[in-house]
Structure 1
Amino acid sequence: MKTPPLALILASRRRALTGSSRSLSRAYNKGELVRVRAGAYYSKPAWLALKAWERYSATVAAVAATDPSVSFCYLTALRIWRLPSPRVPDHIHLLTPSPHKAGRVPPTTTAAKDPKTGFSGLEAVRGYGISRHHWQATVVQHRGFGVTSLVQTVLDCIVRVELPEAVAVADDVLGGRRKEIERLTRKEVEDASAYLASAAKRRRVLDVLTLADEASESAGESRSRALIHVLGFPAPVLQHTFYDSEGFIGRTDFFWPEYGVIGEFDGDAKYLDDDLLGDRTARETVLAEKKREDRLRALGYTVVRWDWKAVTNPELLAQKLQAAGVQRRNPRRMD
């Protein structure tokens, strides 16, 4: 989980330094600050400039700062462990030792209303409520937060989210690109799943592990592969290497040799992320992709591309694959 670009302003810290936090209340009433949680503030212009994930991270930090005893779980823990999530959650997920305190609380992030307009400026900005869960969990310290252990977090999410999301989590946590302390083996996940009380949940974990593939290089590829399975298409070959008379062409995301079809997932990061672009500009990257695709087509293959829109719209992905010539067989349930 990325740290927000600006630090939270804590009333407790202001009182420790100056003896009073009244200046924060005055700044809030003037419309200069956003109250993220009671006792935790953020510059209003900076808050409005944040992206949704950054506001979520800042809210998590505010919850932890105002109550250091909290333990994060489920989708919030997923972010703290830097595992893929397809969307910003609606809530900050916490553990509670009492079943009577389990449940959801609406967002508390507020800003003072302008007396002239009657608006706070947050009307179009999403806030995040609290969702408390009562279940047995192992809690550790990670990145400065109390959070469910890595294997616990993975299991909690795999058994509760849809299959494409679960496979993306499994692919990532099993993959070799993660630091050792943030990585699991299949055996570790399988062994931990044996302690799940529900037979249905145990089967779910084993089903996801069967579909998981450490060769997947992005959450978009993982979700695509799971959807391909759910939609009833044959399993593709991952990261297949192609050559022509000029030499190496590249490795493709998906390949169906029986149909002569190559599939490529195009995430925005490929063209927008400086780390992925390397020394190339976005324009040079697009041109290189076109030349690469031309060489693949020259070998007689059909190349089909899709993006995040298709992996969030299963039938759109199905249409693209069928139009390319991949035959659909036995569709399955998504959950």
Structure 2
Amino acid sequence: MQSEPLVLILASRRRVLTGSSRSLSRAYANGELVRVRAGVYCSKPAWLAVKAWKRYSATVAAVAAMEPAAGFCYLTALRLWRLPCPGVPDHVHMITSSPHKAGKLPSTTRAAKDPKTGFTGLEDVRGYGVARHHWEANIVQVRGFAVTSLVQTVMDCLVRLELPEAVAIADNVLGRRRIEGESLTRVDLEQASAGLASAAKRRRILEVLSLADEAAESVGESRSRALIHVLGYPPPVPQHSFYDHEGFIARTDFFWPEYGVVGEFDGDAKYLDDELLGGRSTREAILAEKKREDRLRALGYTVVRWDWKAVTDPEVLRRKLEGAGLSRRKSPPRGPLPLA
């Protein structure tokens, strides 16, 4: 069950309703409110109680409230389009028509210091600055926000993010499972990439599309597939179905038939999300997974599992795959491997 969004209080609206916004200033000074942006406040206890994504979304809304003409782009637009974002961004990303205004500004989220302790309560809570980008933009409206179009948002991110993050976005926006909002086709992205001036960016888009799989069922699965490629292991067969004398066993995330290895990405949601559990308890889900794995092993297959730590740390995934008996077909690229 999702929590309610943070409620923002606008000083301008308070003045219209009551003739004065001094009560907000007093509440801020008393430690009751957080000033998210100049002229925009929020309950301090509520601000501290929610997770980082909620605070980021509230900061985006605060920026939009104070700059109605603002157009959001890059990672902020990615979030507004409800596509997988690689962690909470450090900045709210916006388009500017002036090259002189491009650049980054630090967070302006503030809280008053407690006179007894000298602390604000925000010392360990990240604030979000503003990053303004000067590039051509096609702005559309999405859920009340002005953002770059879906195809531009996807292109802007695919050419700037690490490969596992880019593939996760492509899988989602191309996938049949996308249920929230508009989707794209491979042709859409190929045509958009053809218009890029940079040959390196065009090659990057084609590399992402070569790895994309519309049937991917999770971000972790998408990132795993891209990282397997980056590490130099042979491409697995995705979503392969297995049977034994009892009938259907499972459709697995990855399968390397030449090695007899089955790979599975295990996200926490598989054991904690009520919808994915389908009425079973976590204990029942774990037991069912064990029985399924036993049946696969009885057929002679090696089963290797990994979680989020492996898709954010290439060395962890490498050890798991090599431990299962896989061999690299090519050397990994020089330099640091893609990280989250």
> If the TM-score is normalised by the length of the shorter chain, which range does it land in?
over 0.9
Deviations 1:253-283 (A, max 9, x none): 0000111100000111112222222211222
The 1-side partners of 2:332 and 2:188 are apart by 28
CA–CA distance in structure 2, aligned partners of residues 219 and 7 of structure 1: 30
Alignment of 1:181-192 (within 5 A): 181-192=181-192
**Secondary structure in structure 1 of the residue aligned to 2:115:** coil
Give the corresponding residue for 1:107.
107
Q: In the TM superposition, what whole-angstrom CA distance separates every residue of 1:29-62 from its partner, at most 9, and x where no partner exists?
A: 1001111111111111111111111111111111
Q: Which residue in 1 is equivalent to 2:116?
A: 116
Return the TM-score normalized by structure 1: 0.97
TM-score with structure 2 setting the length: 0.95
**Alignment-derived partner of residue 173 in structure 1:** 173
Q: Distance in 1 between matches of 2:132 and 2:3?
A: 23
The structural deviation recorded for 1:181 is 4.8
Q: CA RMSD in A?
A: 1.4
Deviation at 1:331, TM superposition (A): 3.0
* Distance (whole Å) between structure 1 residues aligned to residue 140 and residue 310 of structure 2: 37
Return the alpha-carbon distance in structure 1 between the equivalents of residues 133 and 170 of structure 2.
22
Q: Distance in 2 between matches of 1:180 and 1:87?
A: 19
Corresponding residue of 2:284: 284
Contact 2:6 2:54 in 1 (8 A): no
1:296 matched to 2:301? The reply is: no
Distance 1:204 1:193 in 2: 9
1 CA distance for matches of 2:63 and 2:192?
29
Q: Which runs of 5+ in 2 are unaligned?
A: none
Kept after mapping to 2: 8 A contact 1:15/1:21 = yes
Q: Residue in 2 aligned with 1:62?
A: 62
Question: Partners in 2 of 1:283 and 1:180 — Cα distance?
Answer: 31
1:64 is aligned with what amino acid? A
Deviations along 1:123-148, whole A, 9 cap, x unmatched?
00011111100001101000111000
Q: Aligned residue for 2:241? A: 241
Displacement after TM superposition at 1:180 (Å): 8.2
Q: Give the AA of the match of 1:139.
A: I
Aligned-pair CA distance for 1:23: 0.9
Cα distance in structure 1, aligned partners of 2:68 and 2:270: 38
Shift in alpha-carbon separation, 1:322–1:224, aligned structure 2, 3 A? same
In structure 1, the residue matched to 2:131 is: 131
**Hey, what does 2:204 align to over in structure 1?**
204
1:166-202 deviations in Å (ceiling 9; x for gaps): 1111111000112485200000011011111111111
Unmatched 5+ residue regions in structure 1? none
Whole-angstrom CA distance in 2 between matches of 1:3 and 1:40: 21
Matched, 1:221 2:231: no
Paired amino acid for 1:220: G
Asked whether the equivalents of residues 81 and 181 of structure 2 are also in contact (C-alpha less than 8 Å), the reply is no
Q: Supply the distance in 2 between the matched residues of 1:287 and 1:14 (Cα, whole angstroms).
A: 56
The answer to whether 1:75 aligns with 2:39 is: no
In 1, distance between residues paired with 2:97 and 2:281? 52
- Following the alignment from structure 2 to structure 1, what is the Cα–Cα distance between the partners of residues 211 and 106? 36
State whether residues 4 and 58 of structure 1, in contact with CA within 8 Å, keep that contact through their aligned partners in structure 2: no
Q: Which AA in structure 2 matches 1:170?
A: A
